[in-house]
């Protein structure tokens, strides 16, 4: 390129409205959009979820903005990138794309220090092929750095460390004789065998420039290369009729219908682009919300929000509108709907049905499981939970109320 190339309006990942902003409008403007969202949540009995929706969708947006910005920084020849804004854009259908609110205040999603790890004059970078591994693999990454600081850097050292729950698993150093302005690639390599990680774990890889404040971090997940495939006393079915028959006998049932046959919302990892009002024909979800300490997820390490270990599940799933079954159902894994429709959606939910116990999954657990490491691990975690004595759903549902799932009755 003979002229500067700047990427335009990178990301535009929306965050759920912060309803605590409503009292801040004391001038000539009224936040009728936020007031309408609040009224809708109150009517649907979901108002208590609003702060959690904000934080979980915000964390996902921050993860994706980090990825967008780093991809720009890792591209030789790009002169810069431009966000739609750092704060919300109230015009054009409520574009809540900011990591700050419309008053330039923090939403509590991440701190300025955390943002500057991946958006600063100098940014340490890693290039690695994927975020999820099995423990018979080796984590390999190329070390890079983008320098838009005041000076070219001479005789520097980059240090890396891999930790799990704050415990160091490995570390190393890479000398860098000269770090020129712009993108610096091929600075070194991390090669870290993962055999020592025997349990499903989230690892953090940190790369820092010695003697400076510049550092950056990434999460990767490591799962055992083989897991127990036995079902124990749990019955698996994709057939609605078979599930109902098994529940009538008092069985434990994992019902996994083909999500494409259900009346639900197609799964999507990335959240709403710009605005569900301005762009209504998009998959309008905003990531997952879950309790990471729920025993069903004990072998699938997660935070309360989506990170890259949820990519596979969200890309092979449909969210089930649980209020059509029972408005009191509390999903194990909830999908955050957009603020325009606010449907209570679930990827995973459980209930007692007569003498039986039921867990329903909107995640595909039957196709290409040998190639889908995350799905295999999540299924193992669910089976382990259902086989144990902690599988005791608190909600009770009448079998007839599950009829919205009956479109899957012909699945085998």
207 closest CA partner among 303, 139, 270, 306: 139
pTM for the full model? 0.95
pLDDT of res. 408: 55
- What is the C-alpha to C-alpha distance for residues 119 and 65, in angstroms, rounded to an integer? 10
% of the chain exceeding 90 in pLDDT: 86
Q: Quick one: average pLDDT of 333-358?
A: 95
Confidence at residue 362, expressed as pLDDT on a 0 to 100 scale: 95
Dihedral-angle region of residue 250 (phi above 0 means left; psi in -120 to 50 means alpha; beta otherwise): left
Residue 380 has pLDDT above 80, yes or no: yes
**127 Cβ contact partners less than 8 Å away, ≥ 6 residues apart:** 74, 141, 142, 144, 185
pLDDT at residue number 282? 77
Token pair, residue 203, equals: 């690892």
Residue 340 in contact with residue 411, Cβ under 8 Å? no
Q: 37 to each of 9, 18, 98, 138, 410, how far by Cα in Å? A: 26, 10, 18, 47, 39
For range 119-143, the mean pLDDT: 98
Q: Where are the alpha helices (DSSP H) in 127-286?
A: 240-248
Q: What is the pLDDT of residue 412?
A: 42
Q: What is the mean pLDDT of residues 82-102?
A: 89
CA-to-CA dists, residue 259 to 79, 193, 347, 360, 406, angstroms: 43, 37, 10, 11, 12
For 234-267, how does the pLDDT look when each residue is reduced to its tens digit (9 = 90+)?
A: 999 999 999 999 999 999 999 999 888 877 788 8
H-helix or E-strand spanning residue 126: strand 122-127
305-342 pLDDT per residue, tens: 999 999 999 999 999 999 999 988 999 999 999 999 99
């Amino acid at each position: 390129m003979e002229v500067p190339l700047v990427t335009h309006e990178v990301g535009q990942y929306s965050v759920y409205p912060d309803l605590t902003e409503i009292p801040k409008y004391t001038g000539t403007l009224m936040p009728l959009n936020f007031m309408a969202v609040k009224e809708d949540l109150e009517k649907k009995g979901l108002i208590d979820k609003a702060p959690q929706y904000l934080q979980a969708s915000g964390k996902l947006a921050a993860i994706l903005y980090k990825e967008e910005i780093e991809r720009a920084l890792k591209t030789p020849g790009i002169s810069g990138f431009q966000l739609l804004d750092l704060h919300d854009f109230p015009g054009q259908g409520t574009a809540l794309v900011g990591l700050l609110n419309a008053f330039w205040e923090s939403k509590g999603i991440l701190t300025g220090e955390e943002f500057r790890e991946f958006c600063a004059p100098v940014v340490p970078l890693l290039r690695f092929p994927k975020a999820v591994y099995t423990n018979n693999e080796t984590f390999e990454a190329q070390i890079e750095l983008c320098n838009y600081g005041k000076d070219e850097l001479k005789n520097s050292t980059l240090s890396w460390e891999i930790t799990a729950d704050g415990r160091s698993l490995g570390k190393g150093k890479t000398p860098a004789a000269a770090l020129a302005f712009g993108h610096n690639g091929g600075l070194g390599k991390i090669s870290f065998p993962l055999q020592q990680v025997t349990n499903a774990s989230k690892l953090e890889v940190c790369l820092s420039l010695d003697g400076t404040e510049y550092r950056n971090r990434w999460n990767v997940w490591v799962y055992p290369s083989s897991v127990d495939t036995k079902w124990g006393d749990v019955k698996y079915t994709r057939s609605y009729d078979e599930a109902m028959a098994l529940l009538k006998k008092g069985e434990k049932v994992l019902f996994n219908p083909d999500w494409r046959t259900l009346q639900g919302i197609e799964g999507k990892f990335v959240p709403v682009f710009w605005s569900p009002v301005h762009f209504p024909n998009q998959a309008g979800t905003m990531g997952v919300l879950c309790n990471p300490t729920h025993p069903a997820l004990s072998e699938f390490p997660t935070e309360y929000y989506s990170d890259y270990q949820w990519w596979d599940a969200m890309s092979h799933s449909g969210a089930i509108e649980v209020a059509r079954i029972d408005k009191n159902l509390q999903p194990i894994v909830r999908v955050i709907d957009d603020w325009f429709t606010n449907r209570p959606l679930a990827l995973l939910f459980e209930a007692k049905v007569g003498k039986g116990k039921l867990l329903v999954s909107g995640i595909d657990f039957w196709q290409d499981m040998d190639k889908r490491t995350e799905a295999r691990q999540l299924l193992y975690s669910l089976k382990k939970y259902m086989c144990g004595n902690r599988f005791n759903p608190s909600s009770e549902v009448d079998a007839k109320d599950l009829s919205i799932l009956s479109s899957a009755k012909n699945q085998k």
